[in-house]
Structure formats: structure tokens, C-alpha cells
Amino acid sequence: MKKLDFSWIQRPGFPGHFFAFALGALLPFSFAPYHYWPLQLLSVALFYFSIKSLSPKTALWRGWWFGFGTYAAGVSWVYISIHVYSNTPQIPAFLLTLVFVAGLAWFFAIMTYCYQKWFANKPWGFFSFAAVWVGFEWIRSWFLTGFPWLYLGDAHINTWLAGWAPVFGVYSIGFIVALSAAYVIDQWGNKQFKQHAAVLLSPWLVGFLLSFIPWTESIKTSEVVAIQANIAQERKWLSEEIYPTLEKYRSATEEHWQADIVLWPETAITVLHHQAKEYLKFLDESGKENNTAIITGIPYQQGPQEAYPGAYHNSILGLGLAEGIYHKQKLVPFGEYMPLPDSWRSLLGFFNIAMSQFRPGHADQVGLKYESDELSYGIAPFICYEVVYPDFAAKMAKDSGLLVTISNDAWFGHSIGPKQHLGIARMRALENGRYLLRATNTGITALIDHKGQVVEQLPQFEYGILRADAQIMQGNTPFMIWRSWPILLLVIMSLTSCVWLARKQSRSSPSSGKG
């Protein structure tokens, strides 16, 4: 039988690039809502195989096509926000989505170029491949405010690798995945491959054992409520909807005064903070009388005596037994700001809608506080997109008892975006060893435990009230203490060691020349 020839995958040209595009498009199926995580290993392994023989310049384009496939399949739901809810015509909205996806693909392009230029075909090349991959995941978390979406590690909330999350975070899981995939390719066909398999499986086994360590402990069981009002996005900001919306949340809350915490979604109150003073005063007093903490999303405008008079913030406010106000720091591209020059604004209807001109809050803010006669603890608040940042979440969560996140994923319709968002929130709960209560306007409202497992959730696009018991936790996971610094140090050490070994090998090899 004729042996199949797969060498075309490694050759320059469009067939190889298209194959990389297909591999990239396969990658999002390893994340929520699909959770086909073995596809991730296959995708990364074959992508590594496809670039091994390429020049750096060709590898750059191979990486771009892989990234384009990944983001086209994984985050093109931003089109819904741009077109449906931003009044941008179809063609401009499509082009903006294309620009967004194509721009993100350059992270993979530059990553692949760097690997092929300086680290490929060197000792322990598979190790440096994992280091470069995770290094660029980290860069994605902060470059141009960051877009930490579709990290390899987020796909492994239900695998043995999840045990690494409370120790070294999501980047460590991504490192192991990329390392495993590249190692299989490098050792494939080796007579000692079976012996090498034990080395390959060891970090997976260690992750399984780590999952049994109780990094944090419960100090109290609290009854929590999250309200999913299911208000249509196209009607939410209409003036005639203000009073019915406020009444809807008030009446739902009054039915659950027995709860310790009642959580409302992002911008549940659709008027500015100073315009709702009497309403907020009533809620605050009622919450105190009934020993209930009420936490709500609300837009906030700075007053004349504040740092930026007139500036708007997307905020979260504590009332009743909850105290404090927090202004969102991480804003959503195509949801709260447009990552394009200001000169484009006149061409698009996007900037004329609510929630598109918010200013980020200061980095030195603290979270909310729950204060009762029996107990006092911190509540780490995250507004929508903020929960996807691993190190930011760990910083906010430190010494808290509970994580809360509010969102309005109605911006992204019936796409997979809200489901991906919930999946990422699960990883944050696991990394920080805390229960996470999530309230959204149209879904997915849920309670997640300290192991990253969903305790309760409501169906999307239905009115509902989630009622469940959450454990208030104490203690810090290792990741909360040192965050991503150990894995970043590993990345740096891996790359420098690879270069050092290559130079040492080059010096020790007998020089060759023409005889």
C-alpha cells in the first residue's frame, strides 16, 4: 500500500496556509460551549508540524492564517454588537469585524515568526514553542488594553490539567498543552516513543493530584440571589422603559429579602447615579432593615469636584449590607469603545448609542465590602469583560470572600460569545478558589463554585431569578499570591536556555568547510 504523503502541509504555498486556517478554525471548538478539548491538542500539534520546515517569512504568513481561522470562528460574534445594536450598515460592520479578526491574527503571525527565526530546529525546540506561545498569550492580555480570549488553558476547566489553575494560573495550563502537542510531533516515530509517553503524561497526572488540595476554606454559607431581567437590548435604554425597569428589579428584590446578597446585572439601573438618588436611598435603607446586601450595575457621571468632571463610568454599587462603588477598568472593544481612530466616528452610528463612551476607572480601586453584625468580608467585583483577565482578577480577588461579576451579554445576541464568557469566568473562580456569582441581563446568569463548576444557572433569554447557597471562602490560592510571574519566568528561562544550548552545541561541533 502506498504511504500517504503529508509533506505538502510543511511546504510553502496556499495549500499549507489554507490547512493552517482550517486548524485555527478548529481551535474554538475546544472551548465553551463545545468543550471538545482533544481538538485543541490536534490543532496545535498539526500547526507545529506545519511550520517546522518553513522560513521565518513563510512561517509568519502560516501563523497569520492560523490566527485568522481561530478568531474568525471564535470571536466574529462582535459583528452582532457592531451591526445589530450599533446601527452600522452590514457592509461596514462586516469590514470592521474583518479588520478586528485580521488584526488579532497578527499575534499568531509574529509569534510564529519569532519561533521560527530564533528557536526552531534547536535543542528542546518543543519547549521553546510552548514558551513562545504562552509569552504571546500574555502579551495579548495587555497590548492595546488587551484581548485575553481563547487562551489554551481555558478549554481545560474539566480536565486533569485544571489542578494547575489555582497554583500557576491559566497560562501554566496553556504551556503544558503547547508543550504536549509539540513533544508528540517531535517524538513521533521515535523507537522510544512509548517511554517518552510517561514524560508527556506526568504534568497531566500532577494536575490531577493537585486538584485534591483544598487551597481555600469556607467560613459561612450565604443565600444568594441573581436577577436576570431579560430586557430586550433594543428597548433597554428607551426613556419609557426606565420606570418599568426600576420597578421590575425592586419588586423582584423585595420577594427575596431573606437572601444575604441580591445581585443585579450590569447597568440594571439605566439612569445616572445622581439621577436615581431617592431610588438608591430607598434600596439602601430597605436592604439594611432586612439584613440584605444589594449589588447593582449603574452608569456613573463624575461631579464637578471629582478628577474628571462629566466623565462617565460603567460602575457597580453596593447598597444595604454591601458598601462601596467600583468603576470598571477594562473596557470592551466594540462594546464600550471602538479600537479605531476618532476620525472614523462620524462614519459610524456606533458612537451614538449608550455605553460607547465610558472612561476606565483608576487602577488603585478596592472592591466592595459586606458588613453585617455577624460577619465582614470583601467582595471582588468584575464588570463584564474584566473577569477574562487572569492577573487582574487575582489582584482584585485577594483577601475577598466572594467574587461577583455582572454583565450584559445581550450585545452579542444568540452567538457563542456569552457561553465563552461563562467558561472563562469558571476558570477565574478556580484560579482564585472562590465562589463566583454572575448576574446578566439576558444570560447566562449562574453560580460557580470554588472548583470552577457551575452550581446553578438560568436559561438564556428568559426572565428568571437564581437562588442558591454560596460558600464564603477565606485563604489565598498560590496563584492569588504570585499571579503569573512564575510562568512568565519559566517562559524567559526556557527561551534563554534554548539559545544558550544552541550556541554551546554550535561551539562544541567540529567546524566544517570545503575541502
Q: What is the average pLDDT across 433-447?
A: 96
pLDDT value for 90:
87
142 and 26 within one domain:
yes
Average pLDDT, the chain: 90
389 and 346 within one domain:
yes
Residue 345 has pLDDT above 60, yes or no: no
Residue 4 has pLDDT above 70, yes or no: no
Q: In the beta sheet, which residues pair with residue 379? A: 368, 402
DSSP state for residue 305 in the 8-state scheme: T
- Rounded distance, CA 316 to CA 269, Å? 10
Within a domain: residue 396?
yes
**What range does the domain containing 459 cover?**
217-476
pLDDT value for 422:
97
pLDDT value for 12:
78
For the stretch 375-423, pLDDT in tens is 999 999 999 989 999 999 999 999 899 999 999 888 788 899 999 999 9
- Cβ neighbors of 214 (< 8 A, separation 6 or more) are none
Sheet holding 261-263, edge to edge: 325-327, 312-320, 293-301, 261-263, 217-228, 464-474
394, with CB counted inside 10 A (0-12, 13-18, 19+), is buried
pLDDT band at 334 (very low <50, low <70, confident <90, very high): low
Q: What is the average pLDDT across 439-468?
A: 96
341 and 454 within one domain:
yes
In Å, how far are 111, 261, 473 from 116, measured between CA atoms?
Answer: 9, 53, 45
pLDDT value for 319:
98
Residue 350 has pLDDT above 90, yes or no: no
- Cβ neighbors of 275 (< 8 A, separation 6 or more) are none
pLDDT band at 11 (very low <50, low <70, confident <90, very high): confident
Residue 458 has pLDDT above 80, yes or no: yes
Q: For the chain, what percent of residues have pLDDT higher than 90?
A: 68
164 and 282 within one domain:
no
- Torsion sign across C-alpha atoms 509, 179, 28, 100: negative
Say if CB 406 and CB 266 are below 8 A apart: yes
232-241, 358-367, 478-487, 499-508: which has the highest mean pLDDT? 478-487
pLDDT band at 477 (very low <50, low <70, confident <90, very high): very high
Half-sphere exposure of 9 (CA within 13 A, CB side): 18
pLDDT value for 306:
81
Within a domain: residue 285?
yes
Within a domain: residue 3?
no
pLDDT band at 56 (very low <50, low <70, confident <90, very high): very high
Q: Which residue has the higher pLDDT, 40 or 411?
A: 40
For the stretch 283-324, pLDDT in tens is 999 999 999 999 999 999 988 888 778 889 999 999 999 999
Residue 1 has pLDDT above 50, yes or no: no
Residue 495 has pLDDT above 50, yes or no: yes
- Rounded distance, CA 1 to CA 435, Å? 57
27 and 79 within one domain:
yes
Q: Which of 156, 76, 162, 71 is nearest to 108 (CA)?
A: 71
199 and 243 within one domain:
no
From 82-91, 98-107, 377-386, the region with the lowest mean pLDDT: 82-91
Q: Which of 354, 269, 360, 245 is nearest to 319 (CA)?
A: 269
Residue 354 has pLDDT above 60, yes or no: no
**Pseudo-torsion of CA 240, 245, 246, 249, nearest 10°?**
170
Alpha helices in 390-446 (DSSP H): 390-397, 417-432
Within a domain: residue 274?
yes
Q: For the chain, what percent of residues have pLDDT higher than 70?
A: 91
Half-sphere exposure of 166 (CA within 13 A, CB side): 23
Within a domain: residue 325?
yes
Residue 513 has pLDDT above 50, yes or no: no
- Rounded distance, CA 447 to CA 225, Å? 9
Q: Which of 166, 164, 202 is nearest to 183 (CA)?
A: 202
Within a domain: residue 353?
yes
Half-sphere exposure of 253 (CA within 13 A, CB side): 27
Q: Which residue has the higher pLDDT, 503 or 402?
A: 402
pLDDT value for 512:
44
3-state secondary structure 81-128: HHHCCCCCCHHHHHHHHHHHHHHHHHHHHHHHHHHHHHCCCCCCHHHH
Residue 514 has pLDDT above 50, yes or no: no
- Rounded distance, CA 340 to CA 333, Å? 10
Q: In the beta sheet, which residues pair with residue 313? A: 300
242 and 296 within one domain:
yes
pLDDT value for 160:
97
User: Which SS3 state, helix, strand or coil, does residue 290 take?
Assistant: coil
- Rounded distance, CA 395 to CA 366, Å? 10
pLDDT value for 139:
96
- Cβ neighbors of 369 (< 8 A, separation 6 or more) are 318, 322, 323, 324, 376, 377, 378, 379
Q: How many helices (H) and strands (E) does the chain have?
A: 16, 13
Residue 86 has pLDDT above 70, yes or no: no
Is the bond preceding 444 in cis, omega lying within 30 degrees of 0? yes
pLDDT value for 353:
47
pLDDT value for 369:
96
Q: What is the pTM of this model?
A: 0.91
Q: The CATH number of the domain where 399 resides is what?
A: 3.60.110.10
Active site residues: 266, 328, 384
488 and 470 within one domain:
no
243 and 124 within one domain:
no
Residue 97 has pLDDT above 60, yes or no: yes
Q: In the beta sheet, which residues pair with residue 222? A: 470
pLDDT band at 341 (very low <50, low <70, confident <90, very high): low
277 and 183 within one domain:
no
Residue 351 has pLDDT above 50, yes or no: no
Q: Which residue has the higher pLDDT, 435 or 197?
A: 435
For the stretch 113-169, pLDDT in tens is 999 998 887 767 888 999 999 999 999 999 888 899 999 999 999 999 999 999 999
- Cβ neighbors of 195 (< 8 A, separation 6 or more) are none
For the stretch 193-229, pLDDT in tens is 777 778 889 999 999 999 999 999 999 999 999 999 9
What is the greatest pairwise CA distance in the chain? 95
Residue 230 has pLDDT above 60, yes or no: yes
412 and 311 within one domain:
yes
Within a domain: residue 180?
yes
pLDDT band at 237 (very low <50, low <70, confident <90, very high): confident
164 and 118 within one domain:
yes
Count of domains forming the chain: 2
Within a domain: residue 138?
yes
In Å, how far are 130, 251, 314, 426, 472 from 442, measured between CA atoms?
Answer: 38, 18, 18, 18, 26
